[in-house]
Amino acid sequence: MMPSDSAVQFDSSGRLRHFLTINGLPRETLTGILDTAESFMSFGQREIRKVPLLRGRTVVNLFFEASTRTRTTFEIAAKRLSADVINLNAARMSTSKGETILDTVRTLEAMHTDMFVVRDSASGAAHLIASHLPSHVRVINAGDGRHAHPTQAMLDMFTIRREKGGFDGLCVAIVGDVLHSRVARSQIHALSTLGVAEVRVIGPRTLIPTEIESMGVKVFADMAEGLSGADVVMMLRLQRERMEGQLVPSEQEYFSRYGLTEEKLRHAASDAIVMHPGPINRGLEIASSVADGERSVILSQVTNGIAVRMSIMATLMGGADGGEETG
């Protein structure tokens, strides 16, 4: 039995109180989040876009690592639920000097925060925070190092379900820098839990972590083989700074082998969709003609992200203790 990084997410009666990783969440929890998100989808078009589910609650977006788009979608999601939202982009000192990550969080908690949305460059940061806060405070992981980005994976699942109608029998290919990708790890857990037929990862050996097969995926080095018959193609962002190391020899060679072009996409199923968590490196991991093409659902992912994050916040606060109003 694989030890799980999931246990801290549940309270003593088994209710979900933090959203830190997809690993270990039951399928019903995931489909419940997707169903609730579906009910929030119409809100964007309404004249009054708010529901009072989190009225009087304080949500702190605590981003120790720079991010604009993810933080913005969390902010919009929280505001549509009528929460009070504070955004903090904090540069974090390493723990040896200055205030520690836990000092920062405890200070904010002392100001009666109900929910933290946390992003940090260190794997496990959200787990650390969640396990050192009082039990009524909720934590959502908005990305921790290379470990997990579970809300991104959920919005990807939501997008797949809308486009494909479900998960049964799907073949999904994840392409690129899996080694450094928290998105890929969360996608793999979500896809396995939701029961797709096959998950593949495609990339050079320098970007595929060892023993990734233990997570139930098949590894391919060749795009034609790996994309063959795929229903969903999920591209990953390749950080340009990785190019400076010894992981990939050059942008040209990477694009020639793994950049998603219309030609390579022909190996996938004829109705395959193309996804990307953004921001896109055009001409590095994906050709503009594909990113902007008819198979691309990249902008839908962004739109869906708001409803899915509303759903996750509402799910966690629905299980919250305490009174209706907090200070």
Partner 1 sequence: MKTLIRGGHVVDPANGLDGLADIAIENDRIVFTGAAPDDFQPDQEIDATGRLVLPGLVDLCVRLREPGEEQKATIASETEAAAAGGITRVVCPPDTSPLIDTPAMANMIRQRADACGFARVHPLGALTAGLAGERLTDMAMLAGAGCVGVSNGLRAVDNTLVMRRAMQYASTYDIPVFLTPQDPWLMGNGVIHEGEISTRLGLPAIPEAAETVGVARDLALIETSGARAHMANLSCGRSVAMVSEGRQHGLPVSASVAIHHLLLSERDIGAFDTRYKVIPPLRTERDRDALIAGVRDGVIGVICSDHQPHGADAKLAPFSEAAAGISGIETLLPLTLSLVDRGALPRLAAIAALTINPARIIGVDAGHLSPGAIADLCIVNPSHRWQFTPEKMHSRGRNSPFLGVELGARVERTLRAGQTVFELSG
The answer to the question of residue 214 lying near partner 1 (CB under 8 A) is yes
Does 22 engage in binding with partner 1 (CB under 8 A)?
no
CB hemisphere CA count around 15 (13 angstroms) = 12
- The interface with partner 1 within residues 297-316 (CB under 8 A) comprises none
CA distances from 273 to 75, 170, 200, 264 (A): 28, 11, 15, 13
CB of 202 to partner 1, least distance (A): 16
Side-chain half-sphere exposure of 4, counting CA atoms within 13 A: 14
Our finding on whether 48 is near partner 1 (CB under 8 A) is: no
CB 14 → partner 1: shortest distance, Å? Answer: 17
- The answer to whether residue 199 forms part of the interface with partner 1 (CB under 8 A) is no
How far apart (Å, rounded) are the C-alpha atoms in residues 72 and 78?
Answer: 10
Q: Is 23 in the site for partner 1 (CB under 8 A)?
A: yes
In the complex, the smallest distance separating the C-beta of residue 182 from partner 1, rounded to whole angstroms, is 6
Q: In this structure, what token pair is assigned to residue 224?
A: 């034609």
Of 140 and 307, nearer to partner 1 (C-beta) is 140
Q: Which of 3, 52, 134, 323 binds partner 1 (CB under 8 A)?
A: 3
Selected from 12, 13, 45, 210, the binder of partner 1 by CB under 8 A is 210
Among 71, 147, 267, 309, binds partner 1 (CB under 8 A): 147
Least CB distance to partner 1 at residue 96 (A): 8
Best CA proximity match to 19, nearest among 153, 216, 122: 153
Residues 69-98 that bind partner 1 (CB under 8 A): 94-95
Nearest to 140 by CA among 75, 77, 61: 61
Scan residues 165-194 and list those touching partner 1 (CB under 8 A).
Answer: 182, 185
Binding of partner 1 at residue 139 (CB under 8 A)? no
Of the candidates 129, 134, 79, the one whose C-alpha atom is nearest the C-alpha of residue 101 is 129
Which is nearer to partner 1, 80 or 237 (by Cβ)?
A: 237
Smallest Cα–Cα separation from 80: which of 39, 118, 139, 30? Answer: 39
Nearest Cα neighbor of 315 from 108, 34, 98 is 34
Q: Is there a cis peptide before residue 279, judged by omega within 30 degrees of 0?
A: yes
Binding-site size for partner 1 (CB under 8 A) equals: 34
- CA-wise closest residue to 240 among 283, 277, 200: 283
Determine, following the binding rule CB under 8 A, whether residue 215 of this chain makes contact with partner 1. yes
3-state secondary structure 291-305: HCCCCECHHHHHHHH
Binding mask 99-128 vs partner 1 (x if CB under 8 A, - otherwise)? Answer: -xxx-----------------x-xxxx-xx
Give the footprint of partner 1 on this chain (CB under 8 A).
Answer: 2-8, 23, 94-95, 100-102, 120, 122-125, 127-128, 132, 144-148, 182, 185, 209-212, 214-215
